[in-house]
A and B are shown apart, each in its own frame.
Chain A
Amino acid sequence: MKFKLPNPGLEDRILSYEQLDSLEEKEAGDRPKWDNKTQYMLTCVGFCVGLGNVWRFPYLCQSHGGGAFMIPFLILLVLEGIPLLHLEFAIGQRIRRGGLGVWSAIHPYLTGIGIASMCVSLTISLYYNTIIAWILWYFFNSFQDPLPWSQCPMNANSTGIVSECERSSPVDYFWYRETLNTTPNIEDDGGLQWWILLCHICAWSVLYICIIRGIETTGKAVYVTSTLPYVVLTIFLIRGLTLKGSLNGVKFLFTPDLAELAKPSTWLDAGAQVFYSFSLAFGGLISFSSYNSVHNNCEQDAVIISIINGFTSVYAATVIYTIIGFRATERFDNCLSGNILALLNMFELPEGYITDSNYDQVVQRLNETSPEIIQQLDLPTCNLRTFLSEGVEGTGLAFIVFTEAITKMPLSPLWSVLFFIMLFCLGLSSMFGNIEGVVVPLQDLKVFPKSWPKEAITGVTCMFCCLVGLIFLQGSGNYWLSLFDTYGGSIPLLVVAFCEMFSVVYIYGIDRFNDDIEFMIGHKPNFFWQATWRVISPLIMLVILVFYFITKVSEKILYKAWDPESDNFPTLEEKLYPSWIYVIIFILAGIPALAVPLVAVWKCVMTKKRDKYIDNIVDQIQINDEIKKMPA
């Protein structure tokens, strides 16, 4: 006997099989539909494949034992990613509502899950588009030769180069000063940066025109935004492999270090990466799936999209590391030739006396004969591994490391334009899913009047997000963004995903769900799906949630600031957040997560109140009837 919580009235809230079939035949209903299967697949792939595949996965791969990281990644992909994806697709296709409607149809008390995923989608939409604005800024600046981040600008009285740039590097300076104009700490807001404001408006305008009529316009846009990144990645792979030192990078990335598999943090990071990479629990995937025809094979779709997502992560990691290998080799060569020159000059030796191969022996010999001079020279040690393992992720990888590598390649403006177009497409296609996860629940909650056309709804949403997103355009915007990224998009999603699985399996009922899938695709889900949905995946989600929560709560809440006045400039300085930030963190992470139980309790109380009210009315009618029946 399978465990199932009582759920009266479920039949009345969802369409029966006959109704679904008749809906299908008559093509009735006002729900939008995909023009063809390709659009649906491209939209889902675009939503799943995002900036994280390019700048988070390669870093995790390299820092957790290279090729060995594939093992936990693939295992958790199969045990956690694919089942959750299939579940979301199937439930969306069956109940045919958006991310919020699905949960309120399964049980009104579960509306909180929908509200939580809407809040998370909203939080992420706010800051994700700012990253796209930064990408646009770099894209606009790529149409010049030499690229503006390849050299330092002159200072005010043209006596030399700007000191902040001289002490760090041209790419650092361009990112932190000319793009962000960042303040030394989060309390100084630094005012709005007008150039990024323009790019921000441009980013929201481009997004608006793509989602203006919902999937009618999104479906056309994804033909470009989902396919272009693969084209550009291939171009970069071919270019990268022809550069010197690229194979060093690829070898470094994939060299397995099996000792890392014993550490729990590796598995935790792999699980979290699989989860976030699939964009689960946002509500967007459920919504996209609900526009499909009822008998679409969602099982096949889930498997195909998971494979594509996994493959893209590995492919992008390879491409990124060919370029990083090139950059590290370049740095190593420069370091070595700088040292050699210093030695030649100091000891007045002829050129060609010291080469790359005999460098170490010569240094040793010189150290024996004249150690004080060597000491005085203070030669930096040149180690290729150190340069390769300058593991950078996130915005640092894209805007500092990669841009620097591009300046060293011939025809740099071309590579820069291609790279930033690729990042733009990756980000934009993910934004489609995020906005879907915000707009459709708002429609379900009837926030907008019914008479409003779709264009007005998407317009108001975009306008609102654009205005709130102005926080991230200040001087301290980068710090706010990483705050939102760390706390807004992590714990609530894990809570929502766990609740989703629990609700579908134990409140909707796994038996009913199996029957639904048999009705939709023709055969019952096999033992693998049963085992993962009922036990394995919820367990993994719970473990990841608990460990994530513990690590986040126990670690000191620090942020890395770019402070030209700090002692170890240009290294980023770690600073403590001010105490009022804890309130913001609670709002970001706590409120969506708490929305699930709170809304359930509130709905319960409202139902009891309404039942009591109805009881009172019924009693009143009864009394009236008895009075009428009594003889006068």
Chain B
Amino acid sequence: MEDVVPLLLLLLCVSSAAAQLCAPDASNGYKVRLSLLTALGDEAYVWNDSEMFLFRAAMAFAMRTADGQNYNVSNVLVCDETPRVSFWFVVTSPLNSSLLVERRQVEEAVRKSRNRINSAFLLTDNTLEFLGIPPTLVAPTPPSSPPWLIVFGVVMGAVGAGIVLVLGTSVMQSRREKKKAQTGFEEGEEESRAEGNGAASDSVYNLSFSDDDRLTQM
């Protein structure tokens, strides 16, 4: 009985120390939020302790990759879990378990291995949120030559060729007609003169002479 009490006290101390290290709004901690239903819909898995263990392992992996030091699952402390599936975490140094790793270093590590962490949970930057670490923007690469110029060039070329073709055929046609008119001119001269007289009766009268009645009523 007497052995249990100091053990209990020790446990309390350790847990309270851990609790003090990891707390909401901790200066060196980050809040994580997962949106499983949004990301996976019907295939969403249930968040349980095993998943949490995977998270801590993934964070340890990220810290190892960034830092080089031997981080362990026990170095990643988690607290304030909610039914939303959000929690706070802090990372302790592998050399000194009461010393927290700087915020910036944690951010760097997360940024570096973001893709790996996301894939471990089948989530994306938007559904596995680290509040305070914005997702890295993918800059859209501008194409070497704007595609619209290519389409414009094709259309303009076709239209230009068409115009040249049409104008060309009409020029050739008018030249052919002029030649025909010249050769047929001498033969048709008599005919056209006769036709010219007859045409006057069919055409529309010239307006200025239509007021004949006024003149005759003098």
Contact = CB atoms under 8 A, between A and B. Distances in A.
Task: Bin the interface of chain B by size.
Answer: 35 or more
B163 A213 contact: no
Interface stretch (B34-42, B91-99, B184-192): B34-42
A509 interface: no
A618 B166 contact: no
Contacts, number: 99
Contact of A143 (B148, B163, B174, B202): B148
A217 interface: yes
A618 B215 contact: yes
Given A12-B205, A345-B33, A453-B170, A202 B152 contact: yes
A610 interface: yes
Interface stretch (B10-18, B57-65, B67-75, B153-161): B153-161
Contact of A209 (B85, B163, B202): B163
Contacts of B85: 350-351
B166 A213 contact: yes
Contacts of A453: 170, 174
Contacts of B218: 618, 622
A530 interface: no
Nearest to A352: B37
Interface string A140-164: 1101100000010110001011000
A253 interface: no
Contacts of A136: 155
Interface in A177-207: 195, 198-199, 201-202, 205-206
Nearest to B159: A205
B148 A141 contact: yes
A597 to B, nearest CB: 22
A348 B204 contact: no
A466 interface: no
A158 B136 CA distance: 12
Contacts of B151: 139-140, 143
Contacts of B82: 348
Interface string A600-611: 000000000011
Contact of B204 (A13, A144, A195, A618): A13
Contacts of A140: 147-149, 151-152, 155
Contacts of B147: 140-141, 143-144
A345 B139 contact: no
Contacts of B208: 610, 614
10 contacts: A22-B202, A144-B148, A161-B137, A212-B167, A213-B166, A341-B38, A351-B35, A351-B84, A352-B37, A614-B211
A344 interface: yes
Contacts of B210: 9, 12
B170 A154 contact: no
Interface residues of A, number: 47
B152 to A, nearest CB: 5
Interface of A: 9, 12-13, 15, 19, 22, 108, 136-137, 139-141, 143-144, 151, 153-154, 158, 160-161, 195, 198-199, 201-202, 205-206, 208-209, 212-213, 217, 341, 344-345, 348-352, 453, 455, 610-611, 614, 618, 622
A209 B204 contact: no
Contacts of A154: 137, 139-140
A199 B152 CA distance: 8
Contacts of B174: 453
B166 A217 contact: yes
Contact of B152 (A144, A198, A345, A614): A198
B203 to A, nearest CB: 10
B24 to A, nearest CB: 11
B167 to A, nearest CB: 6
Given A9-B207, A12-B210, A141-B148, A348 B163 contact: no
Given A9-B207, A9-B210, A202-B155, 8 more contacts: A12-B210, A140-B155, A141-B147, A144-B143, A144-B147, A198-B152, A205-B160, A209-B162
Contacts of A455: 166-167, 170
A115 B167 CA distance: 30
A217 B86 CA distance: 70
B132 interface: no
Contacts of A212: 163, 166-167
B148 A137 contact: yes
Contacts of A618: 215, 218
A351 B137 contact: no
Contact of B86 (A202, A205, A348, A614): A348
B26 to A, nearest CB: 17
Nearest to A13: B204
B196 interface: no
B6 interface: no
Nearest to A351: B37
Contacts of A137: 148
A209 B166 contact: yes
B198 interface: no
A160 B137 contact: yes
Contact of B83 (A141, A151, A348): A348
Given A140-B151, A351-B36, A455-B170, A205 B84 contact: no
